Amino acid sequence: MAGSLISQGSRILVVLAGMAIPVGVAWAQALDFELFTRLTHKVLKVEAMNTDGSVSMGTGVLVGDGFVVTNCHVTARARAIELVRGEFRWEVEAQRADVEHDLCVLRAPHSVDLAPAEMSFDAPQIGQAVHAVGFIFGIAPRLNVGVINALHDYDGAKIVQSTTPFTSGASGGGLFDDKGRLVGIVTFRYRAGEAFHFSLPVSWVVDAIAHFDGQTVAPLKGTPFWGRPRDQQPHFLRAATYAAEGDWQGMAHVASEWTRLEPDSASAWRTLGVSKSRLKQLDAAVPALRRSVSLDGGYAPTWYELGLALAGSGNRSEATAVQHTLQGLNEKLSKDLTLALDCAEPEIPPC
């Protein structure tokens, strides 16, 4: 069943996109009820009738008149697909499958007045609040709240990493911003911790709709980028796997290979710098992080890591300069760096 896949050669457990938030005082405080209601009306349950007689369940996001996007791993073995909203059911007439990106667009004309999700074309921001909506265990739409904690360049777009938990049964659900706009398609996570949840970019959705070719529903061939053996995955995923496991030496090895193959990749140099910093090899961490910010001066987490590395290597004045740079990029990270620098002062008790 979709939502319980383990990728070969790694410890990634893909529990794809089911979200829940408890009903009660905490729930009412965490989320505006009107927004929750509006978001849940943008998703449908996806039921894929497989060739072996089983049924895979997932979530789809309404993205246009009769168009719903979901993960291809939900429909990978399907001979027929239905979309469900309450008492209504619609048979999918055709689909466009991009298995490599794990993004399938389904076409199912309907007679019920359903408004598609509005897409956000603003660049995702570190620390931005996001809301993940999907069907948990195929029962009803649920929601969980988190923040974006990393962005990863891949195939001309940015994979969104967030702290928004996913559980089984809602693969292909929507990741929305505070305005209710679609930010991404929640897809896979690492079992190691709640900070490692990944969503596909909206730009891939737009491209898939534009190139919809109306193929017949049938079993799909191929493996998504996250499902390959570890040594065949994109560098950012291999590095994230090691980070989730706390294997900084493994992360440094991947980063060294990455910087050699893509010497102009800010992400590669950032990954090398972070891994070297965690290994207390600050003489290697600082130049790697400097190289990263020279290539992408707008990515706040790299400046934060550079500030920590500079402070750790005794360059207090430069670390303070980095903190000032951070003020204009990310207020929270700027405050976090300030606290870290204060804790490094000899006369201040350990934090």
CATH of the domain at 264: 1.25.40.10
Q: At a CB cut-off of 8 Å and minimum separation 6, what does 336 contact?
A: 304
Single-letter amino acid code for the residue at 177: D
**Domain end marker among 164, 182, 210:** 210
pLDDT at 112: 66
Domain shared by 75 and 176, yes or no: yes
Identify whether 274 is part of a domain.
Answer: yes
Mean pLDDT of 305-317: 93
Q: Looking at the predicted structure, is the pLDDT value of residue 303 above 70?
A: yes
Do 151 and 18 share a structural domain? yes
Q: What is the pLDDT of residue 75?
A: 95
Give me the amino acid identity at 158. Answer: K
Determine the average pLDDT of the residues in 106-129.
87
Work out the mean pLDDT of the chain and round it to a whole number. 86
Predicted confidence band at 32 (pLDDT cuts at 50, 70, 90)?
low
Q: Is pLDDT above 80 for 6?
A: no
Is 237 within a domain?
no
Crossing angle of helices 248-261 and 266-278, rounded to 10° = 150
Asked if residue 10 and residue 143 are part of one domain, the reply reads yes
Residue burial 240-251, b: 16+ Cβ < 10 Å; e: rest: bbbbbbeebebb
**Residues 73 and 195 both lie in one domain:** yes
Note the pLDDT of residue 200: 97
The reply to whether 45 and 107 lie within a common domain is: yes
Judge whether 293 and 304 are in contact, CB under 8 Å: no
> Does residue 205 sit in the same domain as residue 318?
no
- The answer to the question of residue 350 being in a domain is no
pLDDT at 323 over 70: yes
- How many domains does the chain divide into? 2
Per-residue pLDDT, averaged over 197-226, amounts to 94
Do 171 and 17 meet the contact criterion of CB atoms below 8 Å apart?
yes
Domain co-membership, 152 together with 51: yes
Question: What is the number of residues in the chain?
Answer: 351
Buried-exposed string 261-270: b where 16+ CB fall within 10 A, e elsewhere? eeeebbbbbb
> What CA–CA distance (Å, rounded) separates 340 from 329?
17
Helix, strand, coil share (%) of the chain residues, nearest 5: 35, 30, 35
Residues 22 and 136 placed together within one structural domain of the fold: yes
pTM confidence score? 0.84
pLDDT surpasses 90 at 256: yes
Is 61:49 a contact under the CB 8 Å cutoff?
no
Helix (H, G, I), strand (E, B) or coil at 110: coil
Question: What is the tally of helices (H) and strands (E) in the chain?
Answer: 11, 15
List the strands of the sheet with 78-85, edge to edge: 88-91, 78-85, 43-50, 55-64, 67-70, 103-107, 94-98
Structure confidence at residue 111 as a pLDDT band (50, 70, 90):
low
DSSP label of 18: B
Full domain range(s) for residue 78 = 5-210
Evaluate whether residue 228 is within a structural domain: no
Task: Tell me the CATH number at 174.
Answer: 2.40.10.120
Per-residue tokens: 231: 């040594």
Partners of residue 90 on adjacent β-strands = 83
Q: What is the mean pLDDT of residues 90-116?
A: 90
**Residue 26, pLDDT score:** 42
d(CA 83, CA 107): 10
Range with lowest mean pLDDT among 1-10, 71-80, 206-215, 304-313: 1-10
**Residue 217 located in a structural domain:** no
State the pLDDT at residue 56. Answer: 93
Residue 72 is encoded by which pair of tokens?
């291809």
